[in-house]
């Protein structure tokens, strides 16, 4: 049975199917009794999680080809990114089951999962879109779903403020990005990225490069690079853990894919990449410095995310397959590491009313749950770029690529930044391993939580030590889009 | 057996890693079982490192027991492991200090599982550095060796442990912040786009100005760990705060990582840059020797004294490397080995004293010779090695280095020789204050080193004596490799 | 004047400026939303003008404009609901009251 | 004659836009916004895209402005007027609000755009429909998902405002 | 048994005893003492066998020890007349002192450690004497320093002993600096440090004079450190804190003589440069004079003998520096004999009187210890240079050699020998002929017999040694008449005058009717000056308090103040910067947008400019 074109669209179909299922569940919720509300919530959790896992499996199916009249390219690059996105979705859905720490009201749980799935579909769409309009609609679909996810946190108080700030900055910067894209359309007459790329390289006027930079703004906002990162600390700190983990992990991978897709426009021009280099250094330094004084764990992870975006952007200075594949590898490592951190956040914050989680909440973790302490250890050391985790190998490959782009002194700045970063990762580690806690009662964690954490950390260490399992495939996947 | 010999280096590396895995699986409570696993894995690594010593063929300068696996060819990374004259002694040193370190911590009761897990990770890192011949794996193991230090000191340390742990880790990683671009720069600016050290060394590329900058980064980056003059302030604080076996591993082996890095990467791959940097290295080494000795003289805490003495002795190593002569470099490598064993012995004795008297203030200790004859004799043997008394390994090292130094830079050489007096001053001052003199009331009935804990220290003292009486053991193995290195440096 | 591309570019940039000024100045959240909508309209003008003057087949420009309109609609819906949520939790829809999250 | 019409429409749009932004009372802003939308629809007509003009009128004026009116009515009357504008708010707003577009204008006018022959018949609704269902088929489906999400989101976020949830 | 085997026994046997003690034989002290005596006997036998059947051209054999391209060290033996003679001296004295120590140490609990370290000393000393390679000499030289440190500090419970041990080690280490520098300079010209190659190079005198002088001075610095010459001599009197056998073996006969032996061994090198020779001679005369004056006012019996050793060592150096190897070395041999006798008899006195103070000994013991008195008298007579006795024979040769070097040095030497006579007889009179002596019944214990036997043997030896000058000269390869005393020459006359003057003055001061205060007491300023050892000790104490402590304070200041503060400062500064960055996030969303778009605009302008 020849699936024909549909075989190329399987992961997206799975996501849409899950969305449909969730939509059906939302309709059944009508009634007010809490018993069937709870049942519907649990049903929604299961549908979302298994739908995501199914989509991830489908993403493994090798697919190569064009869809929708050449506006949708499916290949090694897009499928590997979709795999990561679906794993991110599965992770976040699993983390927000039972509305993680009761931050999302039972009534809203089906909608919550619906938005998660739609956001993932949006990002999957922008990964394969070879055409500006599809790219942009995908970007906005995932963006709006994220705004709503943040706004849905049940607790009264700051969540609405964070959501609004997130929305306002997102909306304005997407208007600016649209402005840039309209100019690109004006210059090249077509909306297909390849066509625009050809037009821009044909006569690289300042206007063309400016337009490319403007259209990148939307993606840089999602990636939380320095001037466009102001939303991140507030959103991470206040949003419910499920949404925060999705924004931190999966959405960043989507942003990386979007960046790789759009940067193919301005490949030939050093000026554009020197500006991106400047942004990279700014976000590295700002992110690391601001994180030094943080007291809230999720806010610290936000600033560290800004810094990691800086490292990533600098890696892309290499402008060749090595840089692009290193970026994806680093994105995958970052996804895994963030999921580890958020597993610890969810498990440790289980009884807490407020969505915030001070670093002192992790005190004495080595006594309360040794396995979680080990998960936190691998997560933080991976983020800090310490061997043998994938964080280290990723950083090495990224900076090697950056050096091929002639950024020797930038790497020195990145090195120094890395040392500054070690300080605040070690502060959290100190809290977990060294500081004592009054009630050493063992933490009652969910049965699967720490075990999943250990599994992911094992994967991270193995992929860190054996990058060759995955890098060659990434290299020729990336060759397709460069 | 042949298979074992072919892959002996990876097996040595795997000993601590497998040990780590087993320790992780053991339940938290069973302390003794964990200690036994640690002892077996460290013992095995010691036996294997002795086997490597036996298998080593001293007549060639090339790498031996080489294992080569193409790891990630697209990025120029491959797993190459091998040992030659320069690193042979270091592997044995790590084996010995690791085994004696585990034995010294046999009476640990607080969080034993985590302690041995982190120690195993640290030692795996150190073994990895000494045997790897690929920049990527070199740096990977280098960082792996540095990071467990933080937790080892912060959890099991003593005075101001958290501050000391943080300061130590940040300082060392600041060093590696310089190394990161340098190592990648080597692969990039050589045009070969490979991290294989032997290829980079043989390619004799014309590095030009960049060579100097890269060497500067490598020297300062590794020099921070080797405790070169202006960047040494972390090491005494780190030693004082660290528990006994950790300071043994740290001062005994980790500081050699720095000097070995400068030797293996700086001097072999960038010989011309080494030529122009040598005077700077010599002057800083001289500062190390004299400055370290005089600061040690002013210390009131036993461990601070040993910490600064390590700074002083590492100065001798760097001076030896800076002379770029056969005698100088052989002396430097011999000193790396001898100082490692000596400091390990020093720290294990001080550890015993601290566990019993709970103080390391020299003013409060006194007349221990009569209450603890064994600990005192061992400390005095270590002290004598520190001073460079003949028939102990350190004498030969310092003798060769100073003779070579006088040959290449007469002024620096003569000033360095004054280091002999300076080191005598501070060691004898401590011996006289803590061990000689009337036995104090407070320390009247303290137990001496028990028979169980004695073998670890006897191994260390024995090694000092054996290499002191027969320096040929060390020098014949070094001979060919150092001759090849000197030829490369002469250019 | 009507058949010269630059006039339309000037119109759209001016409109963009007014919209941006509105977002940055106004305290009332709804007024900020209006500012954003104006910026999006500026983009629509741009697209339609390029469709007419410089694109080989103008339909892509128009379709792009349509999609922007669609997105502006969704944006307004989401924006207003968040504004109401803010109103519910903070009792006011002025930007000055939204300064708790900092540091 | 076309220039005259365009002139009127430009005046209409900018008058509306300034009203939407400068005036203090929100209702006046909404009114101004409506006016500028009408002007903009006219400009689109002048540029030959009738369908886009129609959609602007229908969605923007009909949908968005009306929704905003409801939103304003639901927020308490006290919000009607705003405090006086201090200099420290106006200055950065003016600087960036004017600066950024000024840079854009300079770049745009500096740049050169390709010109293509003006063909009347290509503007018809048939081509738009054809394009929507062929090359832009996926965005077309996705925009419907976006709108669905927006509606459900609005309900989910706003629903809580009416009664206390139990969960 | 080949020569090589004998040499191996000489060095190996005592080393074995030391290791046996170190590795736990401490539990059986009697076994260690027995083993040590046995090894001492073997060593003495070996040295004499080597001396007796020494082949004509000497015997050298060596095996490579540490080999590198630039420079290699070999371990081996170079048996020549000089080295075997010195070995015999060391061997015999070592045996005698070990036997004496059996009695002396009879009731000391740490007996095993004492005998073990004594054997270590024997190995090290023979290492210096028999070595074929100057590097091996240097190694043995340092080991001797270690042995002396351990032996002086044997009773380490006594703070004074511990302090003296440390002072001895550090001061000799200062000397070793010079020695090491000299050797290092030589190595930079020669591939290795074999003594034959060095002597050949000196004969070929290919080195420029400045270089030879530099090496000579450096080696002289080492010799000054070890043989307690000015200014590095103040450690020797303090070293008397150690047990008396140690003082007699190390600090009079053998260890301090190592420096003189090295001078004799490399005499051509020192004499090759005119400046070094005269400098050495001047230094020796000055030190001899200094030491003699201090000895005259010293009140502690062992310290008198210590200052006298310093003075006599200078005499040996005078002989060698003046050019005659036989004179210098013969004086070394005779001095070893009678000074060891003096120390051992002093030991008996101190054991009986339980104090070292001369006056107290005079009162408490005096002539009631007959053997000690005999030893003291024979020793003092030999020391003072009474004709016919050992001291005179060798000192005469030295004076004769110095005579040719010019009147200044000769007059200095004569004055010193007069002072020597003075303090020698002062010692005898104060100790033996003290008028208010209370007769205390000396109760000879069984162990005492060991000690008294040794003293008697040594006394006989001292009497005999004087006449062995001729065959010693032949053994050294020089002609017999080098050791011939020109009885009728003016030199002997002057010496006799000096002797009579010194002895007479001593008799007047301390003899039958004298007030026993000593003529120096009449000039209190000079007395205080001499008593303080010409202020040299004070100089070294200020040097260490001001110099070294000052340097330490400076280093600490740099370390804590400058470097540490900058390091912690950078840490704190980054945290402050962190605070600034975090405050930039002040919650006002319109500010965020202004920053973002403002930076974007500047980016666009930059793009335009690029």
Does the pLDDT of residue D160 top 60, yes or no? no
Per residue in A49-100, pLDDT tens? Answer: 999 999 999 888 888 888 888 888 888 899 999 999 999 999 999 888 765 5
E515 — pLDDT class (breaks 50, 70, 90): low
Nearest to E71 by CA among E193, E201, E211: E193
ipTM confidence: 0.88
Whether residue C101 lies inside any domain: the answer is no
Do B and D count as touching (3 or more CB pairs closer than 8 A)? no
Q: What is the pLDDT of residue E383?
A: 87
The whole-number pLDDT of residue D155 equals 86
Lowest mean pLDDT among A392-396, E198-202, E355-359: E355-359
Count of residues for chain E? 610
Mind listing the pLDDT tens digit for each residue in A175-217? 999 999 999 999 888 888 988 988 888 888 889 989 999 999 9
Residue E518 has pLDDT above 80, yes or no: no
| Cβ–Cβ gap B437/E159 under 8 Å | yes
DSSP letters for A19-86? HHHHHHHHHHTTS--HHHHHHHHHHHHHHHHHHHHHHHHHHHS---EEETTTTEEESHHHHHHHHHHH
Q: Which of A260-264, D59-63, E268-272, E506-510 has the least mean pLDDT?
A: E506-510
- For residue E18 the two structure tokens come to 């030391």
Helix, strand or coil for residue B193?
coil
Of the candidates B99, B98, B131, B178, which has an alpha carbon nearest to the alpha carbon of residue B8?
Answer: B131
Mean pLDDT of E159-180: 90
3-state secondary structure of B372: coil
Task: Encode burial over E552-584: b for 16+ CB neighbours within 10 A, e otherwise.
Answer: beebeebbeeebbeebeeeeeebeebbeebbee
Residues E176-197: pLDDT tens digits?
999 999 998 888 888 788 898 8
Residue D111 placed within a domain? no
Question: The CATH number of the domain where C83 resides is what?
Answer: 1.10.287.3510
pLDDT at A175: 95
Across the interface, whether the CB atoms of C23 and E593 are under 8 A apart is answered yes
Residues linked to residue A296 through DSSP beta bridges, in sequence order: A358
Cβ contacts of C25 on chain E, cutoff 8 Å: 590
Q: Is the pLDDT of residue A285 over 90?
A: yes
Can you give the pLDDT at residue B52? 92
- Identify which of E176, E189, E108 has the alpha carbon closest to the alpha carbon of residue E142: E176
Predicted confidence at residue A240, as pLDDT, reads 84
CA distances from B87 to A74, A457, B52, E125 (A): 51, 33, 11, 37
pLDDT at A102: 61
Nearest-by-Cβ selection for B74 from A412, A414, A472: A472
Share of chain E above pLDDT 90, in %: 19
Mean pLDDT of E585-604: 90
Number of folded domains that form chain C: 1
Average pLDDT, chain E: 86
CA of E602 vs chain A CAs: smallest distance (Å)? 10
- Whether residues D125 and D74 fall in one domain: no
Q: Which carries the bigger pLDDT value, residue D120 or residue E18?
A: E18
Q: Is C103 a domain residue?
A: no
Q: How many CB atoms lie within 10 A of CB A136?
A: 26
**C21 interfaces chain D, CB cutoff of 8 Å:** yes
Does residue D159 belong to the interface with chain A, where contact is any CB pair within 8 Å? yes
E19 CB within 8 Å of a chain A CB: no
**Yes or no, beta carbons of E608 and A289 under 8 Å apart:** no
Cα of E592 to nearest chain D Cα, Å: 11
pLDDT tens string E436-479:
766 665 566 666 787 888 888 888 888 888 888 788 888 887 77
Other C-beta atoms lying within 10 Å of the C-beta of residue B210: 17
Residues D124 and D69 in one domain: no
Distance of alpha carbon B426 from alpha carbon B422, whole angstroms: 7
Is B302 exposed, middle or buried (CB count within 10 Å of its CB: 0-12, 13-18, 19+)? buried
The count of domains in chain D is 2
Tell me what pLDDT residue D165 has.
43
Separation CA A363–CA A373 (nearest Å): 10
Residues of A with Cβ-Cβ distance to E574 under 8 angstroms: 289, 292, 420, 423
Chain A environment of D122 (Cβ under 8 Å): none
pLDDT at B382: 92
Q: What is the mean pLDDT of residues A442-446?
A: 79
Cβ–Cβ under 8 Å, residues B394 and B338: yes
| C neighbour chains, 3+ CB pairs within 8 Å | A, D, E
* Residue A203: predicted pLDDT: 83
D74 and D136 inside one domain: no
Per-residue pLDDT of E3-35, as tens digits, reads 888 888 888 999 998 888 887 766 788 888 888
Q: Which domain holds residue D126?
A: 120-167
Cis status, amide bond into C74, omega within 30 of 0: no
Give pLDDT, residue D78. Answer: 58
- The SS3 assignment for A244 reads helix
Q: Tell whether D87 is covered by a domain.
A: no
Mean pLDDT, residues E286-301: 88
Q: How do residues E210-268 score in pLDDT, each as one tens digit?
A: 889 999 999 999 999 999 988 888 899 888 888 888 888 888 888 888 999 999 999 98
Per-residue pLDDT, averaged over A319-340, amounts to 93
DSSP secondary structure letter of residue E534: G
pLDDT band at D120 (very low <50, low <70, confident <90, very high): low
Alpha carbon of D39: minimum distance to chain A alpha carbons (Å): 20
The per-residue pLDDT for range A367-385, each reduced to its tens digit, is 888 889 999 999 999 999 9
The CB density around residue B450, as the number of other CB atoms within 10 Å, is: 11
Same domain, D137 and D74: no
Q: Is B70 exposed, middle or buried (0-12, 13-18, 19+ CB in 10 A)?
A: exposed
Position with higher pLDDT, A168 vs D80: A168
Percent of chain E past pLDDT 70, that is, above it, reads 97
Q: Is D95 on the interface with A (CB under 8 A)?
A: no
Backbone angles phi, psi at E575, to 5 degrees: -65, -40
Give the pLDDT of residue D161: 45
Residue of B nearest to E181 (CA): B414
CATH code at position D23: 1.20.120.1200
Q: A461 by DSSP, 3-state: which?
A: helix
pLDDT bin (cut points 50, 70, 90) of residue E407 is confident
Does E608 lie at the interface with D, CB-CB under 8 angstroms? yes
pLDDT at residue D167 in the model: 40
**Which stretches of A293-407 are DSSP H helices?**
297-315, 321-348, 365-368, 370-383, 390-404
Does D76 lie in the same domain as D4?
yes
Query: Per the CB < 8 Å rule, is C95 touching E597?
Result: no
A397 to chain B: which residues are within 8 Å by CB? Answer: 75
Question: Which of helix, strand or coil describes residue A357?
Answer: coil
Residue C100 resides in a domain: no
Domain for residue C34, yes or no? yes
Question: Which pLDDT does position E405 carry in this prediction?
Answer: 81
SS3 assignment, position B361:
strand
pLDDT number for residue E527: 83
**Cβ–Cβ gap E591/D99 under 8 Å:** no
Predicted confidence (pLDDT) at residue C14 exceeds the cutoff of 90: yes
Residues of chain B with pLDDT under 50: none
Q: Is the pLDDT of residue D163 over 70?
A: no
Instruction: Read off the pLDDT band of D118 (50, 70, 90).
Output: low
**pLDDT tens digits along E71-98:** 888 888 988 888 989 999 999 999 999 9
> Which pLDDT belongs to residue A445?
79
- Segment E119-140 mean pLDDT: 92
Q: Is residue C102 part of a domain?
A: no
Which runs of E-coded beta strand occur in E36-187? Answer: 59-67, 72-79
pTM listed for this prediction: 0.90
> pLDDT band at D76, cuts 50/70/90?
low
Residue B424, domain extent: 2-490
Domain tally, chain B = 1
- Judged against a pLDDT cut of 50, whether residue A476 lies above it is answered with yes
The vertex-A51 CA angle with A50 and A52, nearest 5°, equals 90
B and E touch with 3+ CB pairs <8 Å, answer yes
């Amino acid at each position: 049975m020849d699936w024909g074109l549909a075989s190329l669209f399987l992961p997206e179909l799975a996501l849409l199917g899950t969305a449909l299922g969730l939509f059906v569940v939302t309709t059944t919720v009508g009634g007010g009794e809490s018993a069937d509300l709870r049942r519907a919530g649990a049903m929604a959790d299961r549908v979302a999680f298994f739908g995501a896992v199914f989509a991830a499996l489908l993403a493994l199916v090798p697919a190569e080809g064009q869809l929708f009249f050449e506006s949708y390219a499916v290949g090694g690059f897009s499928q590997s990114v979709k795999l990561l996105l679906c794993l991110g979705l599965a992770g976040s859905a699993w983390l927000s089951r039972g509305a993680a720490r009761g931050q999302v009201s039972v009534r809203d749980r089906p909608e919550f999962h619906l938005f998660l799935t739609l956001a993932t579909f949006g990002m999957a769409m922008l990964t394969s879109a070879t055409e500006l309009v599809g790219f942009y609609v995908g970007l906005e679909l995932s963006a709006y779903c994220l705004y709503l996810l943040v706004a849905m946190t049940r607790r009264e108080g700051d969540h609405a403020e964070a959501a609004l700030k997130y929305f306002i900055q997102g909306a304005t910067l997407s208007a600016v990005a649209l402005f840039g894209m309209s100019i690109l359309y004006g210059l090249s007459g077509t909306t297909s990225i390849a066509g625009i790329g050809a037009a821009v390289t044909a006569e690289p006027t300042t206007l063309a490069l400016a337009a490319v930079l403007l259209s990148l703004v939307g993606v840089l906002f999602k990636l939380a690079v320095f001037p466009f990162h102001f939303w991140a600390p507030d959103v991470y700190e206040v949003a419910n853990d499920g949404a925060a983990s999705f924004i931190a992990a999966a959405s960043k991978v989507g942003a990386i894919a979007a960046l790789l897709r759009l940067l193919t426009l301005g490949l030939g021009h050093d000026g554009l990449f020197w500006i991106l280099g400047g942004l990279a250094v700014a976000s590295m330094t700002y992110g690391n410095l601001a994180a030094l004084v943080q007291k809230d764990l999720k806010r610290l992870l936000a600033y560290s995310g800004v810094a990691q975006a800086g490292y990533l952007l600098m890696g892309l200075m290499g402008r060749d397959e090595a840089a692009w594949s290193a970026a994806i590898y680093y994105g995958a490592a970052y996804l895994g590491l963030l999921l580890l951190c958020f597993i610890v956040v969810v498990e440790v914050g289980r009884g807490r009313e407020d969505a915030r989680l001070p670093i002192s909440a992790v005190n004495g973790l080595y006594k309360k749950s040794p396995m979680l302490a080990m998960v936190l250890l691998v997560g933080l050391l991976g983020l800090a770029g310490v061997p043998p985790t994938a964080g280290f190998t990723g950083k090495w490959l990224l900076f090697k690529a950056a050096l091929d782009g002639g950024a020797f002194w930038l790497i020195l700045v990145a090195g120094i930044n890395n040392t500054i970063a070690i300080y605040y990762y070690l502060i959290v580690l100190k809290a977990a391993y060294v500081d004592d806690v009054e009630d050493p009662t063992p933490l009652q964690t969910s049965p699967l939580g720490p075990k999943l954490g250990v599994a992911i950390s094992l994967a991270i260490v193995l992929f860190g030590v054996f990058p060759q399992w995955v890098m060659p495939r990434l290299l020729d996947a990336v060759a397709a889009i460069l | 057996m042949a298979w074992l010999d072919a892959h002996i280096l990876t097996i040595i590396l795997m000993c601590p890693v497998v040990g780590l895995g087993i320790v992780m699986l053991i339940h938290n409570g069973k302390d003794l079982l964990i200690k036994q696993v640690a002892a077996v894995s460290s013992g095995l690594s010691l036996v294997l490192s002795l086997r490597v010593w036996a298998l080593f063929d001293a007549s060639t300068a090339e790498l031996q027991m080489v294992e080569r696996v193409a790891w990630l060819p697209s990025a120029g990374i491959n797993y190459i492991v091998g040992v030659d004259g320069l690193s042979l002694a270091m592997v044995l040193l790590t084996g010995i200090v690791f085994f004696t370190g585990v034995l010294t911590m046999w009476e640990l009761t607080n969080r034993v599982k985590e302690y041995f897990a982190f120690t195993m990770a640290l030692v795996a890192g150190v073994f990895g550095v000494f045997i790897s011949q690929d920049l990527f794996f070199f740096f990977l193991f280098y960082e792996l060796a540095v990071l467990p230090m933080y937790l080892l000191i912060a959890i099991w340390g003593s005075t101001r442990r958290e501050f000391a742990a943080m300061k130590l880790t940040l300082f060392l990683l600041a060093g590696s912040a310089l190394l990161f671009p340098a190592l990648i720069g080597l692969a990039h600016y050589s045009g070969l786009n490979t991290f294989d050290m032997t290829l980079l060394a043989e390619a004799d590329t014309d590095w030009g100005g960049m060579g100097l900058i890269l060497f500067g980064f490598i020297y300062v980056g590794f020099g921070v760990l080797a405790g070169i003059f202006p960047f040494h302030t972390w090491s005494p604080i780190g030693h004082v705060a660290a528990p006994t076996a950790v300071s043994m591993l740290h001062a005994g082996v980790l500081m050699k990582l720095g000097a070995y890095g400068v030797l293996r990467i700086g001097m072999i791959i960038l010989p011309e840059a080494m030529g122009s940097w040598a005077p700077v290295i010599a002057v800083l080494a001289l500062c190390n020797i004299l400055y370290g000795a005089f600061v040690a003289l002013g210390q009131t805490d036993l461990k601070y004294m040993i910490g600064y003495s390590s700074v002083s002795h590492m100065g001798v190593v760097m001076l030896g490397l800076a002379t770029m002569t056969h005698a100088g470099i052989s002396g430097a490598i011999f000193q790396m080995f001898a100082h490692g064993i000596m400091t390990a012995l020093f720290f294990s004795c001080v550890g015993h004293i601290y566990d019993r008297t709970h103080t390391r203030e020299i003013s409060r200790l006194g007349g221990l010779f009569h209450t603890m004859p064994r600990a005192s004799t061992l400390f005095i043997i270590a002290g004598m090695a520190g001073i460079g008394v003949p028939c102990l390994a350190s004498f030969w090292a310092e003798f060769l280095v100073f003779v070579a130094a006088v040959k290449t830079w007469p002024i620096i050489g003569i000033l360095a020789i004054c280091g002999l007096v300076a080191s005598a001053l501070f060691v004898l001052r401590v011996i006289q204050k803590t061990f000689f003199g009337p036995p104090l009331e407070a320390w009247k009935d303290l137990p001496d080193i028990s028979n169980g804990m004695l073998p670890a220290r006897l191994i260390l003292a024995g090694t000092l004596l054996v290499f002191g009486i027969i320096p040929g053991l060390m020098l014949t193995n070094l001979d060919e490799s150092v001759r090849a290195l000197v030829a490369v440096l002469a250019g | 004047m009507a058949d010269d591309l630059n006039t339309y570019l000037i119109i759209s940039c001016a409109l963009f400026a007014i919209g941006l000024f509105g977002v940055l100045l106004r305290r009332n959240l709804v007024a900020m939303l209006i500012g954003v909508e104006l910026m999006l309209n500026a983009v629509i003008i741009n697209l339609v003008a390029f469709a007419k003057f410089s694109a080989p087949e103008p339909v892509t420009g128009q379709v792009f404009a349509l999609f922007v309109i669609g997105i502006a609609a969704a944006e307004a819906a989401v924006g207003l609901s968040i504004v109401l949520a803010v109103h519910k939790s903070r009792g006011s829809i002025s930007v000055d009251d939204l300064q708790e999250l900092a540091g | 004659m076309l220039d005259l019409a365009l002139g009127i429409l430009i005046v209409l749009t900018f008058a509306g836009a300034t009203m939407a932004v400068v005036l203090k009372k929100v209702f006046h802003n909404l009114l101004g916004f409506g006016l500028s939308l009408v002007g903009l629809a006219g400009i689109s007509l002048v540029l030959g895209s009738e369908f886009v003009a129609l959609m602007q009128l229908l969605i923007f004026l009909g949908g968005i402005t009306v929704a905003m009116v409801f939103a304003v009515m639901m927020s308490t009357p006290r919000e009607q007027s705003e405090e006086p504008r201090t200099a420290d708010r106006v200055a950065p707003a003016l600087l960036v609000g004017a600066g950024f577009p000024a840079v854009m204008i300079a770049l745009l006018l500096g740049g050169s755009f390709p010109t293509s022959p003006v063909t009347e018949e290509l503007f018809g609704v048939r081509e738009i429909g054809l394009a929507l269902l062929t090359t832009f088929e996926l965005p077309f489906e996705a925009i419907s998902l976006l709108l669905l999400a927006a509606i459900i989101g609005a309900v989910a976020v706003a629903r809580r405002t009416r009664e206390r949830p139990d969960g | 048994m080949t020569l090589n085997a004998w040499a191996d026994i000489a060095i190996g046997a005592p080393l074995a005893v030391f290791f046996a003690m170190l590795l736990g034989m401490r539990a059986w002290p009697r076994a260690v003492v027995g083993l040590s005596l046995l090894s001492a006997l073997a060593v003495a036998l070996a040295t004499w066998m080597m001396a007796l059947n020494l082949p004509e051209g000497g015997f050298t054999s060596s095996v490579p020890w540490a080999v590198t391209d630039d420079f290699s060290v070999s371990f081996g033996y170079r048996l020549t007349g000089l080295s075997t003679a010195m070995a015999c001296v060391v061997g015999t004295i070592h045996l005698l002192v070990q036997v004496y120590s059996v009695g002396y140490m009879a009731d000391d609990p740490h007996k095993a450690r004492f005998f073990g370290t004594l054997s270590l000393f024997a190995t090290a000393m023979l290492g210096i004497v028999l070595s074929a390679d100057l590097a091996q000499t240097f190694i043995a030289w340092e080991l001797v320093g270690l042995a002396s440190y351990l032996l002086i500090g044997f009773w380490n419970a006594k703070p004074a002993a511990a302090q003296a041990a440390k002072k001895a080690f550090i001061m000799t280490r200062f000397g070793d600096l010079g020695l090491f520098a000299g050797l290092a300079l030589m190595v930079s010209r020669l591939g290795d440090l074999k003594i034959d190659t060095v002597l050949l190079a000196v004969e070929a005198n290919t080195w420029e004079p400045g270089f030879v002088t530099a090496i000579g001075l450096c080696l002289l610095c080492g010799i000054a450190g070890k043989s307690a010459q000015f200014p590095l001599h103040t450690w020797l009197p303090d070293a008397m804190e150690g047990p008396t056998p140690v003082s007699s073996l190390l600090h009079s006969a053998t260890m301090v003589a190592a420096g003189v032996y090295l001078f004799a061994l490399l005499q051509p090198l020192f004499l090759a440069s005119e400046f070094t020779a005269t400098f050495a001679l001047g230094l020796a005369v000055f030190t001899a004079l200094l030491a003699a004056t201090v000895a005259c006012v010293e009140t502690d019996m062992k310290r008198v003998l210590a200052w006298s050793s310093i003075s006599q060592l200078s005499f040996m150096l005078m002989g060698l520096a003046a050019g005659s190897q036989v004179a210098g070395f013969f004086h070394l041999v005779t001095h070893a004999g009678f000074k060891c006798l003096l120390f051992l008899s002093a030991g008996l006195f101190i054991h009986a009187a339980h104090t070292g103070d001369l006056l107290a000994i005079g009162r408490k013991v005096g002539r009631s210890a007959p053997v000690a008195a005999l030893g003291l008298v024979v020793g003092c007579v030999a020391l003072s240079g009474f004709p016919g006795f050992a001291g005179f024979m060798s000192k005469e040769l030295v004076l004769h050699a110095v005579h040719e070097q010019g009147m200044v040095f000769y007059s200095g030497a004569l004055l010193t020998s007069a002072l020597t006579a003075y303090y020698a007889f002062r010692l005898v009179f104060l100790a033996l002929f003290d008028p208010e002596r209370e007769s205390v019944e000396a109760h000879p214990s069984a162990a005492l017999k060991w000690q008294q036997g040794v003293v008697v043997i040594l006394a006989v030896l001292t009497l005999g040694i004087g006449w062995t000058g001729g065959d010693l000269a032949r053994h050294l390869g020089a002609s017999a008449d080098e050791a011939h005393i020109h009885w009728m020459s003016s030199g002997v006359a002057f010496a006799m005058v000096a002797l009579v003057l010194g002895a007479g003055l001593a008799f007047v001061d301390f003899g039958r009717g004298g007030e026993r205060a000593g003529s120096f007491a009449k000039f209190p300023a000079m007395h205080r000056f001499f008593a303080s050892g010409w202020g040299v000790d004070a100089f070294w104490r200020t040097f260490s308090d001001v110099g070294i402590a000052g340097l330490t304070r400076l280093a600490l200041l740099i370390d804590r103040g400058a470097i540490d503060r900058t390091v912690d400062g950078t840490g704190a500064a980054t945290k402050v910067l962190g605070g600034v960055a975090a405050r930039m996030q002040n919650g006002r969303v319109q500010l965020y947008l202004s920053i973002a778009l403002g930076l974007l605009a500047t980016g666009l302008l930059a793009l335009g400019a690029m």
